[in-house]
Chains A and B, each alone.
Chain A
């Protein structure tokens, strides 16, 4: 098979029909092509800022072996800009939402400087207990909302924040302390479930600690309470989250926090046993 290209090249060279251009000039031509066009448009007074991106797309696509017209390049630029703006808006939205959630969480889990408790038998009274435990200045949020937030940040910030407040986190309470247990609040679940969880934990502790030492707060007997157990039961996705706090009423400090998640209501009993055991350890030492 003849090599026509090579033959023709030799013929053109012999008859001085070639005007060879050095390789560096060939590369220079490719490098300045877009710039010269922009200068032409600027000199003609026809250059606009919106031409910039389509021209970059137009010449960029040529370099990789494809060809778009200028109009097609402009469409690509328009759609790309729209996609970029949409993506940026979505990122900013989700960032703002997450920051807002974190601010709310920090507000509810913050300091623990409660000095005085007042108890009544109403649901509002229980909400006040929880709120004051967390030293909240405001009182609008419901317990359920609060506990969901606790569940959301329990893995890191909650345990670290709480532990940093307590000089001796694993302090053993003398057995002669009285422990109050409030009804756990509930979020997105039947209230019977939270009452059942409260009852089971209380009964488990009573079995270990003695009935006279475990006091149901909603019965009104608040005198001489040394420790307070409060908590919540909520649904997060497909899981049921039980959050429990043990508060030293003398110092108003949270000395123990625990969260357990159950895949179903059937698992709640086991989780209550686990929580009870952990709280008992906190109260009377290892069993």
Chain B
């Protein structure tokens, strides 16, 4: 029962961001849900041995997406193009700034727990509305707004501490 308890909690928290990541790659919601189901099925089968659920999920989803498209007889090069790092399109100082911002939003210092990190990913990265994020995470909209603002303030302060005195200049 304990395994079910932990797995269902993990599934509930990570499902929206996993589905969003898959959808951003495949562009079809039915395919995305099928792939997400396969990813979480494999997580369930290996759950006892998984230490970092987040890292495991994002590694697994890449593998499952590749398998999915191999079955569709897609060219290996084309599949790999799905996962090309967009940062390559940035050059020089812009790339450096982007790296700093990426480090800022990936640092766990801004988040009390994994749930807050997921909340940030849903709203900041995946553009979920506050209401939809609240439904996914079992929180009220007011709680989501409050927590997200706390996180945003923390990240902005972090950027300033990294030498970006006027954050608005980044725009």
Chain A positions near chain B (C-beta within 8 angstroms): 2, 4-5, 7-12, 14-21, 23, 25-30, 32-33, 36-37, 39-41, 43-44, 46, 55, 58-59, 61-63, 65-67, 69-71
The answer to whether B138 and A65 touch across the interface, beta carbons within 8 angstroms, is yes
Tell me which residues across on chain B come within 8 A of A58, comparing CB atoms. Answer: 8, 12
Q: Tell me the complex Cα distance, A41–B125, Å.
A: 29
Tell me which residues across on chain B come within 8 A of A39, comparing CB atoms. Answer: 37
Q: Is B127 an interface residue (CB 8 A)?
A: yes
Within 8 A of A (CB), among B101-160: 101-102, 105, 124-129, 132, 134-141, 143, 148-149, 152-153, 155-156
The answer to whether B128 and A17 touch across the interface, beta carbons within 8 angstroms, is no
The answer to whether B9 and A21 touch across the interface, beta carbons within 8 angstroms, is no
Listed A/B pairs (22) with beta-carbon separation below 8 Å: A4-B153, A7-B168, A12-B101, A15-B94, A15-B97, A17-B101, A18-B124, A21-B128, A23-B129, A29-B15, A29-B132, A32-B33, A36-B15, A36-B33, A37-B15, A40-B40, A43-B37, A44-B41, A44-B45, A65-B134, A67-B137, A69-B9
Q: Is B61 an interface residue (CB 8 A)?
A: no
The answer to whether A17 and B98 touch across the interface, beta carbons within 8 angstroms, is yes
Q: Tell me the complex Cα distance, A23–B131, Å.
A: 11
Q: Smallest Cβ distance from B143 to chain A, in angstroms? A: 8
Q: Smallest Cβ distance from B151 to chain A, in angstroms? A: 9
Q: B138's contact among A10, A15, A29, A67, by CB below 8 Å, is which?
A: A67
Stretch at the interface among B16-24, B51-59, B62-70, B71-79: B16-24
